[in-house]
Each structure stands twice: as structure tokens, then as C-alpha cells.
Amino acid sequence: MHRRDLSDLGAHWLADGHPDPDRVWEEWNDEHGVALLPAGVRWDAVSMPQGRMQAVVEDMGPLAVDRCPILADLGSARAYVFVQPGTAAWTGAFAEDSVNVISEGSWLVASRPLGRQSRAGTWLVAPSATLRLASPEDLLASLRRTAGNEALPEAAACGMPCPDPAHHHACARSSFHCGIHRDTKRQGAETCSWTRRETLG
């Protein structure tokens, strides 16, 4: 049995959607700290450039995606907004090359929600005990309204200083993030996280 964090309820939700949950925890606990997660069981996802995701969130309003899991690959500057499984296929009729569907048969790389974050799969909004998935209808409407928006380049790191006076580091997450602040550099045995951001900044 691989070590599981009982307090990380979002991680349990993700792992339990895998045919072999132990495999997910094994991957999270190894040196890379990321796991392959299957779409189409607990969730589908809509993939778009991070800049486009920011435009969509601003268009919909932060409450529309509050507690909605949003994953990002910081290397490719893409974001993945989670929706109900089986509901993302509507984007097949949405004629825009930069927006596509992650559904049954597809997999995403993700860090453990409350664990050390990898650039290849970092949580902008991590799943939690109170998660809710985005409305595909509202997301489609917003994608249509923001269709003329150019994707923004990946921004610098957030940079919000850690509130612990003994630590001399800052939030290293993307400036697009809308969850808790977190450094992605290990501080001893811990990764610091602190005050939530209510809106994208």
C-alpha cells in the first residue's frame, strides 16, 4: 500500500477515477510527483491556451469557476477546465483549433493537489472536498464570446511573498492562478501555501 494523504480529498477523488488507484498514489509519491489520470470517468476537460482561459474566467466571472478544478501545463502554457464526464464533446462543433476536448480515451499528467507541483501538471484551482465541475453550456457560451481574443503569452510567476518571515521566497505559480499561493520549490520537507486569491490578477 502506497502512502496516502487522508487530508487531500481532491487527490482521493482523482485517484478513485483510475482503474488502479494505488498506481496513482505510487506515481505521486515517486521522484517526479506526477500521475497519469484518465479522462471520461470522473471528469472531461476542455483544453485551451492559458491566456484564453484567463479571458474566459474574466468573462464568466470568478464565481462561475469557483472550486472548479483547472489544471495547467506551464511548459506549453495550456489550461484544462474540468467539466462533467461525457459533456465536453460539444466543443467538436466549436470551430477553433486552439480549443479541444480531453475525454474518454485521453489522459492528463497531474500533480497531487496538495503536493509538490510540477510544471507539467500544476493546479491553478485544485480539486477539494467542495469541488464542482464547470457548466459546459456556460463554458461554450463564454468561448464563443471570447473567440476574437488573442491568447496571452505565459506570464511571469505570481511573485506574492510568503507570509512566513523566516522564508525568503515567493509564490512561483503562474500569474493566471486563482487558487492558493504556493511555492514550487521545496522548503525543507514542506511546500508552503498561503492566502487564496479571490480573482485572477
* pLDDT tens, per residue, the chain with 201 residues: 456 766 789 999 999 999 999 999 999 999 889 999 999 999 999 999 999 999 999 899 878 888 899 999 999 999 999 999 987 666 555 657 788 888 899 999 999 999 889 999 999 999 988 889 998 888 888 988 988 765 444 445 676 777 777 777 777 766 555 567 777 554 444 577 776 433 333
> Does residue 71 sit within a domain?
yes
Integer Cα distance of 21 and 14 in angstroms: 9
Lookup: cell for 146: 471570447
The predicted pLDDT at position 20 comes to 96
> Does residue 185 sit within a domain?
no
For 112, the domain range is 9-152
> Does residue 86 sit within a domain?
yes
CB 47 within 8 A of CB 100: yes
Q: Which residues of 176-192 are buried (b: 16+ CB within 10 A; e: fewer)?
A: bbbbbbbbbeeeeeebb
> Does residue 195 sit within a domain?
no
The predicted pLDDT at position 190 comes to 54
Q: What is the pTM for the complete model shown?
A: 0.72
> Does residue 196 sit within a domain?
no
Sheet bearing 122-125, strands edge to edge: 100-102, 44-49, 78-83, 70-73, 122-125
Integer Cα distance of 20 and 153 in angstroms: 37
The predicted pLDDT at position 13 comes to 95
Q: How many domains does the chain have?
A: 1
> Does residue 174 sit within a domain?
no
The predicted pLDDT at position 111 comes to 96
> Does residue 60 sit within a domain?
yes
| Chain centroid, CA 20 distance in Å | 22
Integer Cα distance of 139 and 5 in angstroms: 32
Please give the single-letter amino acid code of residue 135.
S
> Does residue 190 sit within a domain?
no
- State whether residue 172 is helix, strand or coil: coil
